[in-house]
């Protein structure tokens, strides 16, 4: 009987396969996670008590992994994760559309809530994570105490990426690192800016042009900005 129920659950109801069976939870490949962790380690070694900040944490999968790693490393600085917890803002969709990017595809991340991410974190062994519900295109990041060691900037769109780069670069401690997601290159090595998530990359190029700060591409989709 039990076998029959199991068989029924897995064959008749595809939804139970999705719920019961393991699925790779990250938006980063294993090789990208290695780069992410190596970069985080580099930053917290240089800035031992500095804050770790994730801007755009979605459902908190990467947050759990990074905050678990920080616990294993005995990191003493705070971890803060910012998100709207409701997906992309109307203002961002409009400004992406105005820049010619496919804003109609910015429909994800709406099935989320700050409480769900708090519960997710609570059932995993992580360092404490402060979840902040905010529009990263306006945030003054006053919640972040002291110097910043590491920023994972992952909001995909231009306006909040540009604002966050400006705000957090000056707060980043020497030795600290900002890792910006979704900075892909075309086959000819030129920046891929026209796709769904090209807005963050476009913001980086503008910011780097204005400030003269250099950065490196890594792992097929990251831009890494080190404060020397």
Ligand X SMILES: C[S@@+](CC[C@H](N)C(=O)[O-])C[C@H]1O[C@@H](n2cnc3c(N)ncnc32)[C@H](O)[C@@H]1O
- What residues are paired with 88 via a beta bridge? none
* Shortest reach from residue 32's CB to ligand X, in Å: 10
Cα 77–160–151 angle (5° rounding)? 25
* Shortest reach from residue 164's CB to ligand X, in Å: 9
Answer for the pair 137, 159: CB distance below 8 angstroms, yes or no.
Answer: yes
148 in contact with ligand X (CB under 6 A): no
Answer for the pair 156, 57: CB distance below 8 angstroms, yes or no.
Answer: no
Of 102 and 174, CB closest to ligand X = 102
Q: Under DSSP, is residue 69 helix (H, G, I), strand (E, B) or coil?
A: helix
Q: Closest Cα partner for 118 from 100, 131, 104?
A: 131
Residue with tokens 């026209």: 194
- Which of 42, 135, 143, 206 is the binder for ligand X (CB under 6 A)? 135
What whole-number distance in Å separates Cα of residue 92 and Cα of residue 160?
8
61 in contact with ligand X (CB under 6 A): yes
What whole-number distance in Å separates Cα of residue 50 and Cα of residue 93?
33
109 in contact with ligand X (CB under 6 A): yes
141 in contact with ligand X (CB under 6 A): no
Interface mask toward ligand X for 62-101; x: CB under 6 A: x-------------------xxx--xxx--x---------
Of 77 and 83, CB closest to ligand X = 83
Answer for the pair 157, 207: CB distance below 8 angstroms, yes or no.
Answer: no
Minimal CB distance to ligand X: which residue? 56
* Shortest reach from residue 87's CB to ligand X, in Å: 5
Of 43 and 57, CB closest to ligand X = 57
Of 41 and 135, CB closest to ligand X = 135
- Which of 51, 57, 117, 224 is the binder for ligand X (CB under 6 A)? 57
Burial class (CB in 10 A: 0-12, 13-18, 19+), 125: exposed
**Residues between 151 and 190 that touch ligand X (CB under 6 A):** 154-157, 160
What whole-number distance in Å separates Cα of residue 65 and Cα of residue 61?
7
Q: How many CB atoms lie within 10 A of CB 5?
A: 9
137 in contact with ligand X (CB under 6 A): yes
Binding site residues, ligand X, CB under 6 A: 27, 54, 56-58, 61-62, 82-84, 87-89, 92, 109, 135-137, 154-157, 160
């Amino acid at each position: 009987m039990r076998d029959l129920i199991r068989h029924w659950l897995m064959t008749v109801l595809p939804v139970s396969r999705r719920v019961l069976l393991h699925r790779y939870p990250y938006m980063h490949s294993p090789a990208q996670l290695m780069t992410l962790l190596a970069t985080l380690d580099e930053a917290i070694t240089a800035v031992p008590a500095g804050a770790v900040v994730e801007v755009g944490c979605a459902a908190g999968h990467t947050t759990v992994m990074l905050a678990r790693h920080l616990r294993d490393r005995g990191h003493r600085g705070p971890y803060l994760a910012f998100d709207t917890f409701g997906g992309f803002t109307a203002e961002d969709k409009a400004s992406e559309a105005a820049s010619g990017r496919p804003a109609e595809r910015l429909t994800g991340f709406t099935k989320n809530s700050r409480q769900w991410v708090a519960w997710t974190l609570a059932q995993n062994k992580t360092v404490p994570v402060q979840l902040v519900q905010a529009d990263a295109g306006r945030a003054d990041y006053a919640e972040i105490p002291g110097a910043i060691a590491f920023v994972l900037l992952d909001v995909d769109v231009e306006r909040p990426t540009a604002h966050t780069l400006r705000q957090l670069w000056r707060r980043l401690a020497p030795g600290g690192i900002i890792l910006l997601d979704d900075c892909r290159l075309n086959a000819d090595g030129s920046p891929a800016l026209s796709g769904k998530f090209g807005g963050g990359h476009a913001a980086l190029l503008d910011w780097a042009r204005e400030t003269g700060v250099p950065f490196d591409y890594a792992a097929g989709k990251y831009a890494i900005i080190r404060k020397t």
